[in-house]
Structure 1
Amino acid sequence: MASYSLILSNASDYVKTGLIDHWKRWIVLIVISIIQLITLNLVPLASGYLVRVYGTPGDTAPELDEYGRLFIDGWKMNIVTILYLIPAIIIAVAFGAIGVLSLIAGFLAEGKIVEISGLLIGSLGILVAFLVFLLISLIMNMAFIHFSRSGRLLDAFSVGAITSRISDGIGWGGYIVMWVIVWVLMSVLFLILSGLSLIPIIGWLAAFILTPLWSVFIAKINANVYDNIS
């Protein structure tokens, strides 16, 4: 049985001791996160640091240095993300195209049934793509850690080994519950940032300051799930 409180508290302590207590590291992470945002993820130094977090077991956050290495690791994460999301994108595009063509055909033929069919197909496609995206995301989160630990990019696509790691560890049920908890926390954070955004400049500053903490927090949660701490 997964100890959700332990997973969360361990990740929280990790962020506190690794970033808040080491505020200079936190500031640098804020800066490289802004750089990654401005460059549209083409300079993924912040993602590279997350790969370092994934690949460093234990309760001590790794140093933020060797930026060339961070850049390479960040691009590894980009590649893994793109390749994992291709199936969901294909499904969304395929169903979307069918839905649009059905709508056009119904409009030209003035057939309400065809138009309704197009809407249903498009809606079904969005739902299926969303469900596929959720499943892929669950596996992809563990894939990041799997390749980070071995240092081999291809290990990110060892789906059998990754799914076995989940099944034999926290279990799929426990893993899904853990992510439901994370989504609830994420919603709370979003509401807080949305409220702060009503105050000029403060909202942007809060987002820039808190986002790196949240990213490392989530990364450590994933690492704890992978390591099946209890």
Structure 2
Amino acid sequence: MILDIYKDSLEYSAKDWKTLVILGIICFFSFLLLPVFLITGYNYRVINNAVHGVINGRDPLPDFEDLISMFIDGVKVVIVQILYLLVPIIIFFIFALIAGQVSNVAGLAIMIIGCILTFVAFVVVELMIQIGLCHMAYNDGAFSKAFAISEIKEAIDEIGWFECIATLLGLIVITWVIFTVVSMVIGIIFTVFGVSTAVLGIDPSAIFLFGVMLNSLVAMFLVGPYLSIFNSRSIGLLYTMQI
């Protein structure tokens, strides 16, 4: 089932390359901060389509319409993420504060325990964030549903904690592999061109520079948006396993 989710999401994310470019343009202006909420809002729409769809269905990519609504959804998503992430952050600082009040050896032991608990809390919280956003989308965008802990836990129990964590880990691996492979392919192509021109006695620095620029543009305008849709679609479909 998890492989079916990945297959569906990989195909779904490549349905419309114009959408990827539009997302890339929005991402380019993300240093202004406000476009970040449009990106998260669009990914939320992808999740919304997924939780109301089926694996290997014919769901279309969301349209770029009603940008105000998309922006508001993006703000809600960011708030959900921040509030959940406060949990592992607070845990870490509590242990850091305690460790600072005792001897070096005891302090080190407390910090090690604190880091382990922080990591565990982060994994659980990240899972709660993802399924919580799906639960919010499934319930017509009701913000409170993103924090309905008992309902979210029940959904995770139905899907299976192992399946959920394995899916998230798989998404991390696939994302890393795609980014790495694309970067390596572009890098190898321009390295070959650069070496060839160097052999001919031509300065290859311009070719290498162009290769770096092209790599960055491809990552921003194609690969990055593609993977953000892929991840959002995968999480949404994962949620449907318990419906």
Q: TM-score range by the shorter chain?
A: 0.7 to 0.9
Residue 83 (structure 1) aligned with residue 83 (structure 2)? yes
Aligned mate of 1:145, from 134, 137, 155: 134
Relative to structure 1, the CA distance from residue 129 to residue 27 in structure 2 (aligned partners, 3 Å threshold; closer, same or farther) is same
Relative contact order, higher structure (CA 8 A, sep 6+): 2
The aligned amino acid for 1:211 is G
Aligned mate of 1:39, from 16, 32, 35: 32
- The correspondence of residues 26-105 of structure 1 with structure 2, limited to 5 A, is 26-36=20-30, 38-40=31-33, 43-56=36-49, 57-58=52-53, 59-102=59-102
Match of 2:145 in 1: 155
Aligned mate of 2:112, from 114, 123, 131: 123
CA distance in 2, matches of 1:100, 1:190: 40
Q: TM-score, normalised by structure 1?
A: 0.82
TM-superposed CA distance for 1:207, in Å, is 2.3
Match of 1:109 in 2: none
TM-superposed CA distance for 1:166, in Å, is 2.2
How many residues are paired up?
210
Residue 207 (structure 1) aligned with residue 227 (structure 2)? no
CA distance in 1, matches of 2:147, 2:26: 28
Using the TM superposition, name which of 144-153 and 134-143 deviates more.
144-153
Relative to structure 1, the CA distance from residue 13 to residue 189 in structure 2 (aligned partners, 3 Å threshold; closer, same or farther) is closer
Q: TM-score, normalised by structure 2?
A: 0.78
Larger Rg: 2
Unmatched runs of 5 consecutive residues or more in structure 2: 54-58, 188-207
**Identity within the alignment, %:** 28
Using the TM superposition, name which of 57-66 and 154-163 deviates more.
57-66
